[in-house]
Chain A
Amino acid sequence: MATVVRILHWACRLILAGVFVYSGYIKVQSPLEFASAIAGYKLVPDAYIFPLATYLPWLEIGLGALLLIGWKLRYVALGAAALLLCFTVILTVTYARGIDADCGCFGFGQKISPLTIARDMLILLPALLLIFESRLKRFADGWSRA
């Protein structure tokens, strides 16, 4: 059982890091296009859109790199989960408002839909597994002993 937890740990880390680095990399390449995606959400004042489009991708890349390195993993996973939760809430609110905006999540040109919201929620799972890993380990140990 401990082996399963270990495999799960590495799978979650690599998947989550890959997702964050890829998503950040795409946005770093085209901050203006990402800015236009943010503008489409009609949530952020115009003056803050470009700075957000410039720095948010670097935050994503930073989180991805930290997940790979493994430094303060639980806290980094917590940060990643918070960011993903934020994205999910924003996507849901924008979709509920009936705004036909570009998701801007992994590349451009994909409109917000229940599918994009579900995908964000799915990505949240590995982050939650990393946060609650110690509990999972305890549970696994108990299971092995039993």
Chain B
Amino acid sequence: MQYLYVFGFGRKRIIDSGARVMTRISMITVLLCLVAALSQPALVADQSCENCLGGGLDAPIKIEVFSDFQCPACRSLYMDTMKQVLRDYSSSDKVCVIYHEFPLAIHAHSREAARYALAARKLGRQQWLSVLDSLYSDQPLWAQNGMVQVSVARALSPSDFQALLKLLQDPSINQTIDRDIALGQERQVKSTPTMFVTSLGREQKVEQVLPYPVLKSFFDKVVK
């Protein structure tokens, strides 16, 4: 430090010039961070649409939900938010809604419910939607008494229900659940519901229930 005094630098000047250099470095860092934040590419997501609950993969916005049928917050997300998203945005192909099964070990009946839902998915999107609707509506009932089948039977016609019971024997259903769980773990899903919202080339992870008006404002901003 001493030699700087010899060359005519004051203490004040040293502090100021040092701080100015740091300021410039900080500003460049800020700019680089902002550029990185705004140009962050989306992760490559599952390209098949067999688990699309509404909308198509070519929709400008994609929502992937990792959900557990017995989790109350997942029920709230589906009943209060996603149903309206499906009605208002997926029907016009503006939003693609993808549901992944993520049954948590702490819930005794959620894997069974997921199995029924996946069997219904094999019957068709409409049947899947009806079963999903019924399972989430009746969640407080079957979560207590374990009568998942009663709720599923109510959602389908007798012939569909019989077909579903046959499909339930298919071992690929358990494999699909395990694959969804593995996918969730790979994408750092730690709680349910967890949503991945992809739009304009960017992906956002949301780990809480978003009220419908909040999502609506976001959709309206993206898809004017």
Contacts and interface: CB of A to CB of B under 8 A. Distances in A.
A141 interface: no
B12 A35 contact: no
B19 A14 contact: yes
Contacts of B197: 32
A7 B210 contact: no
A69 B24 CA distance: 9
A21 B30 contact: yes
B217 interface: yes
Interface of B: 11-12, 15-16, 18-19, 22-23, 26-27, 30, 33-34, 37-38, 40, 197, 204-215, 217-218, 221
Contact of B211 (A18, A25, A31, A46): A46
A2 B12 contact: yes
B16 A18 contact: no
Interface stretch (A60-68, A84-92, A114-122): A60-68
- Choose among B38, B209, B213 the residue with the greatest number of A CB atoms under 10 Å from its CB: B213
B201 to A, nearest CB: 13
Given A3-B11, A29-B37, A68-B27, A47 B217 contact: yes
A35 B16 contact: no
A65 B30 contact: yes
Given A36-B209, A47-B213, A109-B207, A14 B30 contact: no
B26 A49 contact: no
B15 A7 contact: yes
3 interchain residue pairs of minimum CB distance: A50-B217, A46-B213, A10-B19
Interface residues on A, range: 35 or more
A39 B40 CA distance: 25
Nearest to A64: B30
6 contacts: A6-B12, A10-B16, A33-B206, A33-B207, A36-B206, A65-B30
B214 A33 contact: no
B26 A14 contact: yes
A68 B30 contact: yes
A103 B205 CA distance: 16
Contacts of B207: 33, 36, 108-109
A36 B208 contact: yes
A131 interface: no
B23 A6 contact: no
A14 B22 contact: yes
